[in-house]
Structure 1
Amino acid sequence: MSAPSRRSVLATGAGVLGAGMVSTPAAAAAPSERRFDGKTVLLTGGTSGIGKATAYALAREGARVFFCGRRAALGRRNEQEIRASGGEATFHRADVGIESEVSAFVAACVRRYGRIDIAVNNAGIETPRAAPLHEQPAEDFDAVWRTNARGVFLCMKHELPHMLRRGRGVIVNTASISAEVGFATIAPYNASKHAVASLTKVAALEYAARNIRINAVAPGAVDTPMLERAAKAFGMTYEQIAEGYPVKRIIRAEEMARVIMWLASDEAGAVVGTDLDASGGYLTG
Structure 2
Amino acid sequence: MEIKLVKNGIFPVTRTGEGRLLERIPDTGYAIPGTLQGEGKLVGIPVLFIRTSGCNLRCTWTTSTGKVSICDTPYASHHPVETDIMDTAEVVAVVRANLGQIRHVIISGGEPTIQPQPLVELAGHLKKELNVHITLETNGVLFIPELTTYIDLFSLSPKLKSSDPDAKKNRLLDHPVEQNYIRDHPKFRRNPDTLQKYINACIHTGSYYGDKPGSASRRKTNKDFQLKFVIARESDIDEIRQDFLDHLSFVEPEDVVLMPVGGTPELLRESMGMTARLAIQHGFRYTPRLQIDLFGDTAGT
Provide TM-score, normalisation by structure 2.
Answer: 0.37
Larger Rg: 2
Greater relative contact order structure (CA < 8 Å, 6+ sep): 1
Provide TM-score, normalisation by structure 1.
Answer: 0.39
Q: Identify, as 1 or 2, the structure richer in strand.
A: 2
